[in-house]
Amino acid sequence: MAEPSKVIHIRNVGHEITEADLLQLLQPFGSVSKLVMLRGKNQALLQMQDIHSSVSALQYYSAVQPSVRGRHVYMQFSSHQELTTDQSSHSRNSDQESEPNRILLATVHHVLYPITVEILHQVFKAYGYVEKIVKFQKSAGFQALIQYQSRHEAVEALAALHTGRAATIAAAFGGTLPPGVTGTNERCTLIVSNLNTDKTNEDKLFNLFSLYGNIVRIKVLHNKPDLALVEMADGLQAELAVNYLKMIHVSALAQDVSEEALLAHLSEHGSIVGTKLFEVNGKRQALVLFESEEEATEALVSKHATPLEGSTIRISFSQMQSL
Question: Distance of CA 211 to CAs 66, 111, 214, 316, Å?
Answer: 14, 8, 8, 7
What pLDDT sits at residue 264? Answer: 94
Mean pLDDT of the chain, nearest integer: 80
Q: Which helix (H) or strand (E) holds 240?
A: helix 235-243
Instruction: Give CA separation, 56 vs 8, 49, 77, 97, 221, in Å.
Output: 11, 12, 12, 24, 30
Percent of the chain with pLDDT over 90: 15
The answer to whether 103-172 and 189-243 have equal CATH topology is yes
CATH code for the part of the protein at 7-90 = 3.30.70.330
Would you kindly state where each structural domain of the chain is located, as residue ranges?
Answer: 7-90, 103-172, 189-243, 248-317
Cβ neighbours for 92, distance < 8 A, ≥ 6 positions apart: none
CA-CA-CA-CA dihedral for 57, 58, 59, 62, to nearest 10: 130
What does pTM read for this prediction?
0.43
189-243: which CATH topology?
Answer: Alpha-Beta Plaits (3.30.70)
Where does the pLDDT of residue 261 fall: very low under 50, low under 70, confident under 90, or very high at 90 and above?
very high
Architecture of domain 248-317: 2-Layer Sandwich (3.30)
Average pLDDT, integer, range 111-139: 79
pLDDT band at residue 87 under the 50/70/90 scheme: very low
Question: Which numeric CATH code is attached to 103-172?
Answer: 3.30.70.330
Cα(96)–Cα(115) distance, rounded to whole angstroms? Answer: 27
pLDDT of residue 129: 92
